[in-house]
Amino acid sequence: MSNYHIKQFEEYFQVYRKSVRNPEQFWEEIAEEHFTWKKRWSNVLSYDFKKAEFKWFEDAKLNITENCIDRHLHTRGDKTAILFEPNNPDDEAEHITYKQLHERVCKFANVLKSKGIKKGDVVCIYLPMIPELAISILACARIGAIHSVIFAGFSATAISSRINDCNAKMMITSDGSYRGSKTIDLKSIVDEALNETPGIESVLVAKHIQSDINMKDGRDFWLAPLLEDTSSDCAAEVMDAEDPLFILYTSGSTGKPKGMVHTIGGYMVYTAYTFKNVFQYREEDIYWCTADIGWITGHSYIVYGPLANGATSVMFEGVPSYPDYGRFWNIVEKHKITQFYTAPTAIRALAKQGTEFIEKYDLSSLKVLGSVGEPINEEAWHWYDENVGKKKSPIVDTWWQTETGGIMITPIPFSTPTKPTYATLPFIGVQPALMDENGQELKGNQVEGRLCIKFPWPAMARTIWGNHQRYKDTYFSAYDNMYFTGDGALRDEVGYYRITGRVDDVIIVSGHNLGTAPIEDAINEHPAVSESAIVGFPHDVKGNALYGYVTLKDVGESRNHENLRMEINQLITDRIGPIAKLDKIQFTEGLPKTRSGKIMRRILRKIAANETDQLGDTSTLLNPEVVQDIINNVK
Ligand code: PRX
């Protein structure tokens, strides 16, 4: 029996049991039957949790682009692979067939080669959601270069630190991007970043908004003429299953962002297999994930997972509110979308507009709805279910992370009975565990603890670029022989999981992971600031928003606080990007600290959430008096 497509709940249990009883045999079968390899593996899995070393399909040879493109050419050459919906609804959508994608990827790959990019080199990509983004990723994979996509909302400082961290040789960008009624001058942000990046040898620039930009002689090249002059023949580089495919940065609770490294073979098998089942994908479907390819959701479930299945994947350049709040529904109707995968923050923002925009469009093509990136609250879940899915399209609340590479806890639509706010059951092959604070596993149901995974899965990140020790410390040192996710979760009376949120200092704002440390570092650069602490507080659209407690160097100084707030947010925008701006800034006389000098964020969190009756014991603090003072002056 093929286990590639699970259609019933009973089947889920059978396949799940098989996958955990003998994971090697299970994944070997999936890999063998559904993918193209140039050479078979010598070993399905080897792992060592102590060293944090994991290898899947060792010694196997392949190229992921042959799996995502070439092998479909005979059967699906004229089928749309990427359906590009531009920012402006009056501009025509672009249907890129598998044949055309093949040609464009090969040409792009040859351009990369002509600029000296070789197997193992790192290429940074800072592009809006235009076809070149997917094509450049695949072009890197074609020749064995490692792509490192930087979300095109990050600032110049954030770009340069990522470029330098991964020693990238090339940058791919565009003159600019459209975002609703605005344009953003991406190239000048890149130019500023490149002042600090000696390793970058060349910059390829896609013309998109036709703006007047600065091109540096000998370094910057327009893409179009290069592509025109290039052959569309490009043999796929033979890669090892464990060669890196890409680096993608994610925030940590401390220090600089972590460059998570994903490797080719396991990532391909897992993203393809999860895509097929979690979205119950069928050949004629038109699948749309609204994420940006700059995040892991876009890597795994706009590009690799869908294309490995020969699917039509929609790429949308714009925003949900332009030209009005009906845009998403307009696209669903226009392209007859069958699977729609978005984030709770978008659902909440759209729900705020009522149902007037939805009612204008025919959403009857929808079969499966997805949610990802943060916990979905009950109200948003029901709104999504009733108004978008008309109570007939199951919602898959998919829990996973940049580090996990693919979806880990999720219902299988039409099989797993859904339950609002619950990600429900582990995906095939995923072995979750809930741990208490003493390192004991909480067995049985109706328990709540820290979420870990106790067996390797094919798409797990293999290391942090240039810092394996940090990878080991962050994910494998909290509990023996387990991967620690950083999330808390509960298991209900039937064994369903509900993710309760981060248990560390990472805050999820509008579905984006933000570490407190880099934001605090940015604030502390302000000459008037002595120290700061950031916490999250509940926000009805963003899920969480950021609350900053800031102490000034000279409290007697009568600086205009409104100006200071603006300057602080500007600093954050410059250092990280607008997504990390603070909603509230309170100037305080001091910050509550333990006797060892550690800031007690727990207390600050309670104050920000207006739960001051739940502060707990504050008497052991070094400076208990500041707590009342902070409460009295809440912003
Ligand atoms: O806290 C969890 C939350 O997002 C974190 C991972 O963020 P990132 O690496 O940016 O990847 C996001 C897209 C996969 C997790 O540690 N998270 C993600 N999905 C869910 C979620 N929290 C609750 N429910 C989810 N479905």
Ligand 1 centroid – CA 425 distance (Å): 15
- CA 511 to centroid of ligand 1, rounded, Å: 7
Residues 6+ positions from 507 with CB-CB distance below 8 Å: 513, 514, 516, 534, 535, 536, 544, 546
- The pair of structure tokens assigned to 355 is 């149902």
pLDDT digits (tens, 9 = 90+) for 23-34: 999 999 999 999
Number of Cβ within 10 Å of residue 622's Cβ equals: 15
Residue-level pLDDT at 182: 96
The ligand 1 atom at the shortest distance from the C-alpha of residue 402 is 9
Pocket probe for ligand 1: among 274, 399, 485, the residue whose CB has the most ligand atoms within 8 Å is 399
Residue 14 contacts by C-beta under 8 Å, 6 or more apart in sequence? none
Distance between Cα 372 and ligand 1 center (Å): 7
* Residue listed under structure tokens 């959430």: 609
- Domains detected in the chain: 9-489 (3.40.50.12780), 510-633 (3.30.300.30)
> pLDDT under 70 in the chain at which residues?
1, 555-558
Asked if residue 516 lies in contact with residue 534, where contact means CB atoms within 8 angstroms, the answer is yes
Q: 262, 341, 374, 514: which to mutate for ligand 1, most atoms within 8 A of CB? A: 374
DSSP string, 474-495: HHHSSSTTSEEEEEEEEE-TTS
Tens-digit pLDDT profile for residues 595-632: 878 888 889 999 999 999 888 888 888 898 999 999 99
Cβ neighbors of 251 (< 8 A, separation 6 or more) are 257, 258, 506, 513, 514, 515, 518
> Ligand 1 center to residue 407 CA distance, Å?
10
Both structure tokens of 85: 């919906």
Q: What is the value of pTM for the model shown?
A: 0.95
State if residue 395 touches ligand 1 by the CB under 6 angstroms criterion: no
Q: Note the residue count of the chain.
A: 635
The 10 Å Cβ neighbour count of residue 199 is 14
Gap between the Cα atoms of 545 and 106, Å rounded: 43
Two tokens, residue 320: 């949900």
Residue 195 gets the label, from left (phi > 0), alpha (psi -120 to 50) or beta, of alpha
Q: CA-CA distance, 387 to 184, in Å (whole number)?
A: 33
Amino acid at 6: I
Q: How far apart are CA 264 and CA 148, in angstroms?
A: 14
Q: What is the pLDDT of residue 627?
A: 93
Closest CA to 144 of 266, 241, 44: 241
239-267 b/e (C-beta count within 10 Å ≥ 16 → b): bbbbbbbbbbbbbbeeebbbbbbbbbbbb
Question: How confident is the model at residue 555, as a pLDDT?
Answer: 59
Spatial distance between the Cα atoms of 93 and 105, rounded to a whole number of angstroms = 19
Closest CA to 482 of 69, 87, 132, 49: 49
Is residue 350 a contact partner of residue 380, using CB atoms and an 8 Å limit?
Answer: no
Ligand 1 proximity of 423 Cβ (cutoff 6 Å): yes
How far apart are the CA of 595 and the centre of ligand 1, in A?
34
